[in-house]
Amino acid sequence: MPDGLYPYRNEIINNGQTVYKLTGVVYGDDGITNLQHFIPIGESGYDDFPGGASVTITRVFDGGISRLSTRVTSTAGGAQNATVRKAFIIPNDFGSFPTGALVLKSRRSSSAPTHLQLTVEKGGTADPSIGGVDIQAVAGLTWEVKTITPTAVYFPGDHVVIAVESQTNANAQFNEVAELELLYTTARGNVE
């Protein structure tokens, strides 16, 4: 590509980064290292695995704060376990996960269920820092933010599954999870 044809190939923007235009990037990456992007993880579309438990798994929309959550509610006494899972693929421009990359909100009933745990699996193996980590809200009926840092080695194209397991111990107890976000930094694209 002749240099005179595109005189603004390297454009300076307000924060001082250089934006490389028309660089021949191979896959969707804009060619800049360490930009931060979110992996798109929808609020709905979890696969439900009630495991024979007496529970209902519902999607709850709170119009006051525009939040869509997934709620697991027991419909019987005693220990009731249920899991919801969501799968996604690590993007092609993935470089690494920064500290606190995984953020979500959780809420529980006023009567405390046994637990709400999060596991992130890659290739069937749990991430060492996110294998059954407790994400249950401490206070009843209050949304709480949970922040976690993935520590396993991930590569572009990896298939990842997020599993949230709820265990209740009394009728009508519930756990809820919402606004799951996973931030990553980009690797430099294939720039010629």
Tell me if residue 78 falls in helix, strand or coil: coil
Give dist(CA 160, CA 102) in Å, integer: 13
> How many distinct structural domains can be found in the chain?
1
- Residue 13 is classified by DSSP as -
142 lies in some domain: yes
Give dist(CA 30, CA 93) in Å, integer: 9
- Taking CA atoms, 62 is separated from 13, 28, 165, 172, in Å, by 39, 35, 22, 19
- Residue 131 is classified by DSSP as E
pTM of the model: 0.79
20 lies in some domain: no
3 lies in some domain: no
97 lies in some domain: yes
107 DSSP β-pair partners:
176
25 lies in some domain: no
Q: What are the DSSP E strand ranges found in the chain?
A: 10-12, 18-20, 36-39, 47-49, 55-62, 67-74, 80-89, 94-96, 102-108, 115-122, 125-134, 144-148, 159-168, 174-186
- Indicate which CATH number applies to the domain containing 39: 2.60.120.200
pLDDT in tens, the chain (192 residues): 444 444 444 444 433 334 444 444 444 445 567 788 888 888 777 888 887 779 999 999 988 888 899 999 999 999 999 999 999 999 888 899 999 999 999 999 999 999 999 999 998 999 999 999 999 999 999 999 999 999 999 999 999 999 999 999 999 999 999 999 999 998 865 443
11 lies in some domain: no
77 lies in some domain: yes
